Amino acid sequence: MSRAAAEPAADELIRARFPATDLAVREQIARVRVCLCRTRASVALQENVAILLGEILNNIVEHSLAGRHDARIALAVSRDADGICVETQDVGEPLPPQLLTSARLPETAVDVVNMPEGGFGWFIIHALADEMVYVRDEGTNRLSFRLSEPAP
C-alpha cells in the first residue's frame, strides 16, 4: 500500500463523508482549497490537488455511484513534509483495472465529430499524481494518491 494510505498523516486537514452529488463535490473541493491555502501550500500544489479531486470525485459520482443519490463518498486529506495525501472511498462499482495502468491520451487525430468524449481525465490523474493505489475491499473502493510540491 502507498504511503498515502499506510502512514499516519502528520497533519490531517479534512476527513469528511458527503453525498455523491455534483454540488457536494464542488463544496468539498472548495473546502480542500481553503485548507491547503492555510497550510501555505503553493498555488501550483493547490491547483493540482483541486484538479485531481475534481476528476476523481466526479468520476465516482458519474460512474461508480451513477444514479445512487443516497450514496456517500468518504474523503481524507492530509499534509506531511513531502506534500499532500488524499484518500477517497465509495461503495460503488469497481474501478476498471485498465484505468490504473493507462496514462495515454485518447486518439485525437480524428475529425471533430469522432473525437472521444472520455479518457482525458485519467490521463490528467496519471500525469499529476506521484503515487496512486487502488484497493477494492469487501465492496468498498479505496483510491489513494499523493502529490508533491511542483518543482519551481
* Residue ranges covered by each domain of the chain: 3-148
Tell me the average pLDDT across 68-94.
93
CATH superfamily of 3-148: Histidine kinase-like ATPase, C-terminal domain (3.30.565.10)
Confidence of residue 6 (pLDDT cuts 50, 70, 90): very low
Tell me the average pLDDT across 51-75.
93
Question: How far apart, in Å, do the first and last CA atoms of the chain sit?
Answer: 29
Compute the distance between CA of residue 36 and CA of residue 85 in angstroms, rounded to an integer. Answer: 12
Compute the distance between CA of residue 82 and CA of residue 146 in angstroms, rounded to an integer. Answer: 9
Q: What is the CA radius of gyration of the chain?
A: 15
Compute the distance between CA of residue 145 and CA of residue 149 in angstroms, rounded to an integer. Answer: 14
88-132 tens-digit pLDDT: 999 999 988 777 776 665 565 665 555 455 556 788 888 899 889
